[in-house]
């Protein structure tokens, strides 16, 4: 049976509730202020982060323009990135800019700088589900193979990638082929085929398989 909201017992409980509110008013107000303060602090930093990312994006667009300019040199690109450093630091655009430096350095045969930037990305960027990290691994692998530094290349390519896994397997197959470990090369190329649906890439792997000496 439902209690009459106007009964004396109900009024007593309601009176007790208001007495509790009055006796704890300061604590209640403090909690509400803290909650409101936390919310506004969250909004403040969220807005700051959004402003930071917007600023970083705009700075990166200028960096891209410098990179795509055929007359732009590695020195020009690095100066552009240095001038934008405060805008892009600690954002994904800083990592992306390091990739651009590595590419330009490679094109200008400055392999030490290229490797240094790629190693920086690999060791500092989040390696979980991060395409920029995986691109750096693959590009460093190319350079190390070109230098015939196969031990370092295999170490660099030792972990499975979330992105570009078929390319990682291909490079390991190339290393095995250079080292005349043809059975291993065959295995890597076949695994690379299984890891992709890209028909062009599959055709390339089949060509590489056909070029391996018969065991």
* Higher-scoring residue by pLDDT: 27, 82: 82
Distance (Å, rounded) from C-alpha 20 to C-alpha 14? 10
* Higher-scoring residue by pLDDT: 61, 156: 156
**Opening angle at CA 124, ends 118 and 140, nearest 5:** 20
pLDDT at 5: 44
DSSP assignment of 61-105:
HHHHHHHH-TT--HHHHHHHHHHTHHHHTTSHHHHHHHHHHHHHH
The 10s digit of each residue's pLDDT in 4-32 is 444 445 455 545 555 554 565 555 455 45
Residues of the chain with pLDDT > 70, as a percent, come to: 75
User: What is the average per-residue pLDDT within 65-89?
Assistant: 85
pLDDT at 170: 96
Distance (Å, rounded) from C-alpha 139 to C-alpha 153? 10
User: What is the average per-residue pLDDT within 121-145?
Assistant: 89
* Predicted TM-score (pTM) of this structure: 0.73
CB atoms within 10 A of CB 37: 10
Alpha carbon separation from 206 to 71, 170, 188 (Å, rounded): 39, 11, 12
């Amino acid at each position: 049976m439902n209690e009459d909201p106007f009964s004396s017992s109900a009024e007593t409980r309601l009176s007790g509730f208001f007495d509790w509110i009055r006796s704890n008013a300061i604590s209640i107000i403090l909690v509400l202020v803290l909650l409101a303060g936390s919310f506004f602090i969250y909004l403040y930093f969220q807005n700051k982060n959004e402003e930071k990312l917007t600023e970083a994006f705009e700075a990166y667009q200028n960096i891209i323009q410098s990179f795509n300019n055929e007359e732009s040199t590695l020195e020009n690109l690095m100066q552009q990135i240095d001038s934008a450093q405060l805008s892009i630091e600690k954002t994904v655009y800083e990592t992306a800019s390091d990739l651009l430096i590595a590419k330009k350095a490679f094109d200008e045969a400055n392999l030490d700088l290229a490797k240094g930037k790629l190693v920086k990305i690999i060791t500092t960027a989040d390696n979980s589900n991060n395409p920029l990290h995986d691109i750096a691994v693959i590009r460093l692998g190319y350079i190390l193979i070109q230098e015939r530094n196969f031990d370092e290349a295999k170490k660099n390519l030792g972990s499975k990638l979330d992105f570009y896994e078929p390319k990682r397997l291909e490079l390991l197959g190339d290393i095995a082929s250079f080292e005349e470990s043809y059975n291993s090369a065959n295995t890597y190329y076949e695994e690379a085929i299984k890891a992709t649906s890209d028909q062009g890439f599959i055709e390339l792997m089949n060509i590489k398989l056909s070029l391996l000496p018969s065991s």
